[in-house]
């Protein structure tokens, strides 16, 4: 195939995916389903007839895409809103994943003609929630949750891959390597978490230090530097047997919560990169799948999927979160947002590449589980949030707010959010005392998951997230007011 035909094919598939996402957005169809569906239609058994059967290339494409998706998600994660979610998210990302894998694996062993280790391998592959799917549903559908729910779900999905990867690799070694030891098992576990965390934390600080000293006259250099740095952190950590995905996510959180040159344009750049990565990843997975091979495993796949959704995930979440003062409604909602996405499908390629017996069946069942997760859970998350009363603002109210803002035609105005850091000079002060420029307006204050309608007497607290309609010329002075550098004067 010539390069011209290849580019024509790829661009056509991407454009179809974009139009599909826009057209079905109001119906709540998860983008994961749309993109995979386009890939399957274009594949060898679809109308497109494009032959693609390369698990190795698919794994590489998926890993590279996940790096960008996790990095983008981390950049957009405000530490002030997630600091209280770290402990429960860490328990969910470790003990929760382990429990889910064990329960699902044991159930699979009961209903399928598989040995116990292979059954546990399937459980491990589907044990983690998927960052791309969770970020896509929570952010694209503009779901605002009370308290620490949203930040905890995003932290969990961004940090639970190491446990799933560790379990998958370890179980493959147990199956294929006769002398695999418990010591090797534990070493792999601690290396994944310790190196991933340390590498991400140190790399994040180093990247910010470097980017603020580049002094390049070309603004476009900065997001390119960030993208290359994210890839470097992932690859370097992975080569040291650490969790590259965890390192990238932690590094992005560190970077996103610091000031650096051209931050706004960089964030916008990675928002686009994240969408491109999602489309590319899910299209490639769709191309790899043969629908005729999925149909025979539907009964087994549906049974395991329903057990995972209605038993394994809820039990794991309850045991993990019952110690952190979450209400039953919140635990039920977290249980429901157990979306499976690209990560399980990519992990399902590991047994194929390792030559594990029954790997084809495992891959097809895992792919079907991902589809049912998106169909059953992805569609219903907004409704579940309303039913369990864990959402802050209804979708209709948010839609009205955005429509009202869209009516503002003055190009000198923009809508943005500003975080009040802990220890800021603005902390403990009333809004009226801050002397905010007349052309800028505070619309809403998010405090610990609750919305506050601002008044002149409203006292600010550390961690408040302020939604503002701001005059672009006042941006520097307004940020200084809330971030405590100076107290602005009224213009």
Q: Kindly state whether residue 478 falls inside one of the protein's structural domains.
A: yes
| Residue whose entry in the numeric block shows the structure tokens 């140190």 | 202
What CATH number does the domain containing 76 carry? 1.20.1530.20
Last residue of a domain, one of 320, 353, 387: 387
Q: Looking at the chain, how many residues does it have?
A: 491
Instruction: Quote the tokens at residue 104.
Output: 């699902």
CA-nearest of 207, 191, 209 to 246 is 191
Alpha helix segments (H runs only) across 241-394:
244-256, 263-288, 291-294, 298-307, 313-321, 328-336, 342-354, 359-373, 381-387
With contact defined as beta carbons under 8 Å apart, do 434 and 487 qualify?
Answer: yes
> Which DSSP string do the residues of 354-375 spell out, in sequence order?
HT-TTHHHHHHHHHHHHHHHII
111 and 32 in a common domain: yes
Residue 431's SS3 state is: helix
Q: Are 174 and 119 in contact, with CB atoms under 8 Å apart?
A: no
**Residue 415: beta bridge partners?**
469
167 in a domain, yes or no?
A: yes
What pLDDT score was predicted for residue 364?
A: 93
Residue 280 lies in a domain: yes
Say what the pLDDT of residue 143 is: 60
Question: 195 and 252: one domain?
Answer: yes
176 domain residue, yes or no: yes
Whether residue 426 sits in one domain with residue 355: no
Token couple for 95? 């003990």
Q: Does residue 151 share a domain with residue 278?
A: yes
Instruction: Provide the pLDDT for residue 11.
Output: 92
Ramachandran assignment for 142, one of left (phi > 0), alpha (psi -120 to 50 degrees), beta (any other): left
Tokens matching residue 149: 């729910």
What single DSSP character describes residue 37?
Answer: H
All residue ranges of the chain with pLDDT < 50 are: 394-400, 403-404, 407, 409, 485-491
Q: Assess contact for 469 and 408: CB atoms under 8 A.
A: yes
Residues 39 and 144 in one domain: yes
CATH number for the domain spanning 442: value is 3.30.70.1450
Provide the domain count of the chain: 2
End-to-end CA distance of the chain: 63
Which of 335, 356, 387 delimits the end of a domain?
387
Give the pLDDT confidence score for residue 138 in this predicted structure: 64
The answer to whether residues 431 and 349 belong to one domain is no
400 lies in a domain?
no
Are 363 and 442 in a shared domain?
no
- For residues 370 and 433, membership in a common domain is answered with no
Asked, for residue 261, whether it belongs to a domain, the answer is yes
The two three-digit tokens of residue 221, written as one number: 């250099």
Domain-embedded: residue 119: yes
What order of strands is seen across the sheet that includes strand 441-447? 413-419, 465-471, 441-447, 450-452
If one counts every other C-beta atom within 10 angstroms of the C-beta of residue 166, the result is 22
Q: Which pLDDT score is estimated for 396?
A: 43
Residue 217: exposed, middle, or buried by beta-carbon count in 10 A (0-12, 13-18, 19+)? exposed
Cα 181 vs. chain centroid, distance in angstroms?
Answer: 33
List the structure tokens of 394: 């209804």
Range of the domain at 174: 3-387
Residue 181 CB neighbour total at 10 angstroms: 11
Q: Own/partner pairs for 228-236, CB < 8 Å, 24+ apart?
A: 229/203, 230/67, 230/68, 230/71, 231/64, 231/67, 233/199, 233/200, 233/203, 233/207, 234/67, 236/199
CA distance 154 to 82: 9
In whole angstroms, how far apart are CA 453 and each of 80, 191, 414, 465?
20, 47, 19, 12
Asked if residue 393 is part of any domain, the answer here is no
- Residue 437 and residue 347 share a domain: no
Contact 41/221 with Cβ under 8 angstroms?
Answer: no
Q: Answer whether 0.75 is exceeded by the pTM.
A: no
Q: How far apart are CA 298 and CA 300, in angstroms?
A: 6
3-state class of 444 per DSSP? strand
Residues 474 and 333 in one domain: no
């Amino acid at each position: 195939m010539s390069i011209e035909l290849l580019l024509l094919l790829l661009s056509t598939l991407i454009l179809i995916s974009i139009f599909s996402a826009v057209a079905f957005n109001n119906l709540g169809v998860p983008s994961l389903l749309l993109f995979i569906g386009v890939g399957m239609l274009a594949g060898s058994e679809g109308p497109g007839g494009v032959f693609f059967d390369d698990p190795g290339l698919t794994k590489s494409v998926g890993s590279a895409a996940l790096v960008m998706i996790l990095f983008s998600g981390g950049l957009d994660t405000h530490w002030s809103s997630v600091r209280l979610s770290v402990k429960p998210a860490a328990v969910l990302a470790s003990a929760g994943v382990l429990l889910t894998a064990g329960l699902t694996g044991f159930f699979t062993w009961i209903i399928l003609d598989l040995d116990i280790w292979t059954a546990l391998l399937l459980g491990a592959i589907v044990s983690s929630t998927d960052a791309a799917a969770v970020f896509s549903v929570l952010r694209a559908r503009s779901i605002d949750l009370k308290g620490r729910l949203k930040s905890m779900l995003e932290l969990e999905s961004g940090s639970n891959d190491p446990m799933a990867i560790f379990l998958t690799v370890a179980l493959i070694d147990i199956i294929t390597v006769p002398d695999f030891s418990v010591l090797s098992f534990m070493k792999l576990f601690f290396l994944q978490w310790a190196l991933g965390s340390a590498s991400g934390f140190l790399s994040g600080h180093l990247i910010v230090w470097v980017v603020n000293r580049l002094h390049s006259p070309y603004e476009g250099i900065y997001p390119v530097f960030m993208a290359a740095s994210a890839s470097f952190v992932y690859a370097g950590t992975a080569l040291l047997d650490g969790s590259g995905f965890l390192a990238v996510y932690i590094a992005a959180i560190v970077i996103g919560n610091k000031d650096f040159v051209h931050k706004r344009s960089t964030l916008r750049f990675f928002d686009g990169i994240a969408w491109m990565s999602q489309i590319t990843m899910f299209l490639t997975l769709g191309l790899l799948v043969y629908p005729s091979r999925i149909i025979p495993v539907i009964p087994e796949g549906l049974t395991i999927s329903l057990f995972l959704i209605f038993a394994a995930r809820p039990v794991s979440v309850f045991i993990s979160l019952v110690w952190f003062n979450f209400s039953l409604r919140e635990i039920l909602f977290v249980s429901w947002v157990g979306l499976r996405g690209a990560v399980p499908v990519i992990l399902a390629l590991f047994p194929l590449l390792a030559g594990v017996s029954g790997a084809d069946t495992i891959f097809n069942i895992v792919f079907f589980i991902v589809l049912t997760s998106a169909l059953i859970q992805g569609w219903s998350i907004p409704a579940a949030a309303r039913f369990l009363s864990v959402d802050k603002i209804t979708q209709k109210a948010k839609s009205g707010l955005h429509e009202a803002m869209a009516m503002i035609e003055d190009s000198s105005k923009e809508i943005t959010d500003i975080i009040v850091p802990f220890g800021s000079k603005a902390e403990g002060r009333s809004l009226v005392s801050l002397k905010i420029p007349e052309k800028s307006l505070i619309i809403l204050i998010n405090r610990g998951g609750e919305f506050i309608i601002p008044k002149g007497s409203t006292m600010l607290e550390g961690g408040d997230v302020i939604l503002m309609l701001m005059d672009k010329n006042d941006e520097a002075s307004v940020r200084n007011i809330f971030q405590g550098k100076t107290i602005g004067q009224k213009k």
